Structure 1
């Protein structure tokens, strides 16, 4: 070996016994779960297959998706309005928004659903007219607010309170200099919010909004207490007649997992879209990650060795 060159280092890989133990424990638990799923007769997978695409189950899925979409739309619009009111310098507007958020976040959504379903006990008729004066139009409360509308009001108005705090956090994450620059250009407060602040705040708003959407999909199961047949209620109606409780609960769970998985993928691509202006490189999509497992990236070409500097020793 040439003089002056250090000896070759014999690298010994660091051992991680904890990883092996953890992996073995997880593998054993997974094998036990798989064995139970296959050989436990209570699961009755033939019953699961029979009712997976049953008509009432599919109808319940439609009601669940409709409630989720409309409730989130109501919550998103109401949340933006409440967030702007909360940040308003007008004390009446900010106090009213704070009171709304306090009431709807402080009471269970289950109580709110039942309350809206029994609104006719408070006011038998709803009317439009001059405040404290004659009414121009009047209609029965139970006619105006059937079960589906009661469920929509309970879910959507409750969601607006949570979305208000999410939107407020997103708005406050934008640097104040953006607002000052917009006002210096003569833009109104409303146009500044619409054209400058909200587009930048979306990067912060989208992730928790996606979580709220997934949570809303599952929260719709609570409307079964007011006898609205969504997915969970449809499953309940079937197993109350055939007493196949576990198989029908598995059917319902499979559909919930399927729908939440689709929403999760949609949330990922939406976050990726709004991250374009903040990240140097966008995160890989699931398809790109999957392709990377099977397609080997070509290695970079070796760089040519530079000639030794003048007077430098040669080997």
Structure 2
């Protein structure tokens, strides 16, 4: 029996779902909860952007003619994808400090203060995401007919120009669906940041629960907000896919209903979709 249940029993009141508490926090969340929500959003966006850039660099390294770069990219992907994000967070924030290697200190930029724990969170999420984005980029580039790159070189284009003008625009159409799913996953993965003490939405809900003992109610509120974030992003992703779609090509993209109810690309499908496309192209 929890303290809250015992208190209600002593007062002669049955323990049950507190609807007024739930509706209050759902439609009138506290300032602390809104701060946690804001951290969840901006950490997700920054980490995803950095993960895409780093993932693209790793994908290029894997396609390099130089063996050290190829093996370096492969080892990076193997190492990051083979270890849990939770362990990586603890190693980066707590482990580096405990070993005396590096301690994340608060960083002041102008009038803004970037907490050390936020820096560690963004860095770890970006490094983790880059390993998955590298595979998505690599497979998408492999799915493009090699003859197009050869034709571009025959026209006198440099490798960098070939990538920018010929290959990358086509690869983006393949990358966008799994990229959107990765960002969806990123927003939900921020709940793991509570393990290093970052006061994002999940840890804020835990703090409210510790003060009110309304466990089911407050975490249901948090679940509703996570659901709202991922639903909004589903609309954004669908809009981006339609804008980037080739007018002369029919793309069998999942409908919005399929995205919201699980009929579209899931985590595994999203991460392996581009790889399968690449294999089929060869």
Q: CA deviation at 1:173?
A: 1.0
Instruction: Give the 4+ runs in structure 1 shifted more than 3 A.
Output: 40-43, 140-145, 280-286
Provide the TM-score with structure 2 as the length reference.
Answer: 0.77
Q: CA deviation at 1:285?
A: 8.8
Q: CA deviation at 1:121?
A: 2.4
Tell me the matched-pair count.
Answer: 233
Greater per-residue helix proportion? 2
In structure 2, relative to structure 1, the CA distance for the partners of 1:284 and 1:254 (3 Å cut) is closer
Residues 1:245 and 2:215 aligned together:
yes
The separation in 2 between residues aligned to 1:58 and 1:210, in whole angstroms, is: 24
1:150-161 residue pairs with structure 2 within 5 A? 150-161=120-131
The separation in 1 between residues aligned to 2:206 and 2:242, in whole angstroms, is: 39
* 1:108 counterpart residue number: 84
Assess if the C-alpha contact under 8 Å between 1:179 and 1:197 holds in 2: yes
Q: CA deviation at 1:51?
A: 1.6
Residues 1:265 and 2:239 aligned together:
no
Q: Which has the higher contact order (CA 8 A, sep 6+)?
A: 2
The one of 179, 182, 196 aligned to 1:209: 179
Which consecutive residues of structure 2, in runs of 5 or more, have no partner in the other structure?
Answer: 1-13, 108-114, 257-282
TM-superposition CA deviations, 1:62-107 (whole Å, max 9, x none)? 0000110011011100111000110111101111111111111111
In structure 2, relative to structure 1, the CA distance for the partners of 1:238 and 1:75 (3 Å cut) is same
In structure 2, relative to structure 1, the CA distance for the partners of 1:104 and 1:249 (3 Å cut) is same
TM-superposition CA deviations, 1:219-266 (whole Å, max 9, x none)? 000000001011111111001111000110111011111110010111
The separation in 2 between residues aligned to 1:122 and 1:193, in whole angstroms, is: 42
Which consecutive residues of structure 1, in runs of 5 or more, have no partner in the other structure?
Answer: 1-39, 126-139, 287-315
TM-superposition CA deviations, 1:177-234 (whole Å, max 9, x none)? 1101110111111111111101001111011111000000000000000010111111
* 2:19 counterpart residue number: 45
* 1:71 counterpart residue number: 47
Q: CA deviation at 1:122?
A: 2.8
* 1:292 counterpart residue number: none
* 2:67 counterpart residue number: 91
Provide the TM-score with structure 1 as the length reference.
Answer: 0.70
TM-superposition CA deviations, 1:31-54 (whole Å, max 9, x none)? xxxxxxxxx983322111222222
The separation in 2 between residues aligned to 1:176 and 1:73, in whole angstroms, is: 28
The one of 245, 248, 265 aligned to 1:275: 245
The alignment partner of 1:43 has SS state of coil
